[in-house]
Amino acid sequence: MHQPAAPTRSTAATCSVLIVEDEYVIANDLRLLLLEAGYGVLGIADSVAEARLLLGQQPDIVLLDIYLKGNATGIDLAGTLAEADVPFIYISANDSPSVLEAVNATQPCGYIVKPFREKDVLMALEIGRYRHAHRVEVQLREEKTLQIALTEALAAPVPWSQKLLQGARLLQGPIGFDFMAVRYQHGADHFSYRYYRTGPDEYETLDEAAFYRLINVPAVQLPQLHGMFEALYEAPGCYNQQAYSDLCRQHPMLGSIAKTLRMTSALVMPVAVGAAHRFILSFFSRQPNAYRARHLALLDRLEQPVALTLERVLAFEEIARLSRQLQQEKSYLQEEVKTTANFEEIIGTSPCLLEVFNQVSQVAPTDSTVLILGESGTGKELFARALHNLSARRDKILVKLNCAALPAALIESELFGHERGAFTGAVDKRIGKFELAKGGTIFLDEIGEMPLELQAKLLRVLQEKEIERLGGNIPIRTDVRVLVATNRELEKEVSAGRFRMDLYFRLAVFPITLPPLRQRASDIPALATFFAQKAARKLGKSFKALSDRALQELQAYPWPGNIRELENVIEQSVILSDGQQPLVLGRPLTSSLFQPQAAPASPAGAPKCDAQPAQMPKDLLDIKQMQRETEREYILSVLVKTNGRVRGSGGAAELLKLKPTTLEYRMEKLGIRKTITTSESDR
């Protein structure tokens, strides 16, 4: 076994020794021996009382006799030395088993039997100093490990009750308790958890209500109990048997709780977190002298790192809380501002448009492929966005690709991606639009422009739900909803051999035909006013209203370019206007290079489109009123389909993708309940 080297004068000179010995001759011999060896002698005490006075000079080590003058023994002084973390070595002629047992319980650094030799004393001192230094090093490592474990437990993404329970388990070893309480305070905001030890590593977690039931405190006494806790938790404190008894006499309710739980000592440590938050840790034990100054010192050393961790955790929780609140407010505002069942980007009140809204509401919740048909400029992309926003994939991405805007050679790479080196210029691997839209929706506009060779690959995607990157040979599974749009008549394209028949039938699962603007005459005033206000904001101009003449021209024109053409005409008119007079059109609408297509025949039972244009709205409030009327008519049309049922499977709320409470609120606001006779209160 390795033995410490004999001390040199340089190492011994840094160590001061207190001699506690009531026999003068022995004490003096020890003093001379230590001075000769180079140690510093702080003093000689012949009683425990005198030794405690000399402890204020902070000796490095104590040579301690067991039997001294007075009633107190060296074993009694050992407890004080242990609290002060001062190493000590017994010097005694008594070696009876009972005495040795009491000596070992105090955990000394050594034991010298009288009579002793000089080398025995010097060797015992060196070994004692070595053991103490080693114990301090081990203690520091243990504290560091405890600190890391506590910060990890408190930072874990679990509820506070579980964070604090793990913290209680970690503190059980160094502190020891039968009952632990943690209270959090932040102004009027607070919470408390108590951990009642029921086994070696078993705890019963008590919230405030469970704790009050356990101690059987009536509700009328709760204010008194809270006041007592405030007084107890004001400052750090260590309360052993006598001090705890005095505390219980000062606070009778605490005495009642102590009697119920059989607690006889306590340890309290407030932890300040930032400027306004505070955690209070309190430990209770059934052992009469369970807590010492060293326990309080340990908690004091742990306070700063634990407080920093708690501050970060509370900051992250506050950010998360504000984020949730913001999201809730955003959702609420979205529900409030959305009209016509989430078609907030589409302006219109005509029966044709309402029928399209109804079709979108029916197919949007499914994953079916939708083919959006209609002339150029009818708003196919807006309806694709509405289909996505009303689907279960609304939280995922909507990826758009215009098949007519890219060269045929690049469409495949854009859709399916490519591997590195797949073609000249492919210096890096790239994912395509289908991979980008994973879990979401892909919208392929102008699908009629897609080359035939790519139509076969798109058909495979729809059938097999997998793709291959250009230059690759590994199939990649896809989870994408496909929406397509075209202004071509695909049946004619199939007959002419420019579009695959099998792909057409794959795409036309649920075709939706958008009505041209000339069939939506009642929507023109609202659309024109909206576009005029939008252009005026962009150009920094004022907009009063549309002139009567402009309105007449707008309603008489067949609009071959549909809504896109209308927006362009209005923006041009705003550019040319002075902003002080009612808006007139910037160019005549009497001629066009394009002839409008014949209106498709309406299916049996479909609502008829506008025969007469509606009156132009006077102002923004008038537009909002029209929107409310549109929303009301649309909700009524859905309620007719559901026989007035709002809630449940197949109810209006499900078809409209709204919460039942939100729909009922909108119905109340729009006065619909007065027109619906079917009661929902019992459904």
Q: Where are the domains of the chain?
A: 9-138, 156-317, 369-508
The three-class DSSP label of residue 677 is: coil
- pLDDT, residue 370, reads 94
- For β-strands 110-113 and 466-467, DSSP reports them as unpaired
Q: Evaluate if residue 677 carries a pLDDT over 50.
A: no
- pLDDT, residue 484, reads 95
- pLDDT, residue 366, reads 92
- pLDDT, residue 336, reads 42
- pLDDT, residue 422, reads 63
- Within 13 Å of residue 70, how many CA atoms lie on the same side as its CB? 17
Q: How confident is the model over 555-597, as pLDDT tens digits?
A: 888 888 888 888 888 888 888 887 778 888 877 775 443 444 4
Q: How confident is the model over 513-525, as pLDDT tens digits?
A: 999 998 888 888 8
d(CA 377, CA 624): 24
Helix, strand, coil content of the chain in percent (nearest 5): 50, 15, 35
The radius of gyration of the chain's CA atoms, rounded to the nearest angstrom, is 43
Q: Which homologous superfamily is 369-508 in?
A: P-loop containing nucleotide triphosphate hydrolases (3.40.50.300)
- Residue with token string 């729009």: 670
d(CA 446, CA 400): 11
Q: Evaluate if residue 647 carries a pLDDT over 90.
A: no
Bridge-partner residues for 676, per DSSP? none
As a whole number, mean pLDDT of residues 149-156 equals 85
As a whole number, mean pLDDT of residues 440-469 equals 88
d(CA 224, CA 570): 74
Q: Say how far residue 547 (Cα) sits from the centre of its chain.
A: 54
d(CA 348, CA 334): 19
Please indicate, yes or no, whether the overall pTM of this predicted structure exceeds 0.85: no
- Contact predicate 655/640, CB 8 Å: no
As a whole number, mean pLDDT of residues 532-547 equals 85
- The pair of structure tokens assigned to 404 is 């007519």
The three-class DSSP label of residue 585 is: coil
Q: Is domain 9-138 classified as CATH 3.40.140.10? A: no
Q: Evaluate if residue 414 carries a pLDDT over 50.
A: yes
- pLDDT, residue 310, reads 81
Pick from 295, 10, 292, 15: nearest CA to 128:
15
Bridge-partner residues for 483, per DSSP? 370, 443
User: Residue 648's CB: how many other CB atoms inside 10 A?
Assistant: 13
* Cα-based torsion angle of the residue sequence 290, 292, 297, 302 in order, rounded to the nearest 10 degrees: 0
Per CATH, the architecture of 156-317 is what? 2-Layer Sandwich (3.30)
Eight-state DSSP code of residue 239: E
Pick from 164, 147, 19: nearest CA to 91:
19
Q: Evaluate if residue 495 carries a pLDDT over 60.
A: yes
- Contact predicate 254/179, CB 8 Å: no
- pLDDT, residue 592, reads 46
d(CA 48, CA 45): 8
Domain 9-138 and domain 156-317, same fold? Reply is: no
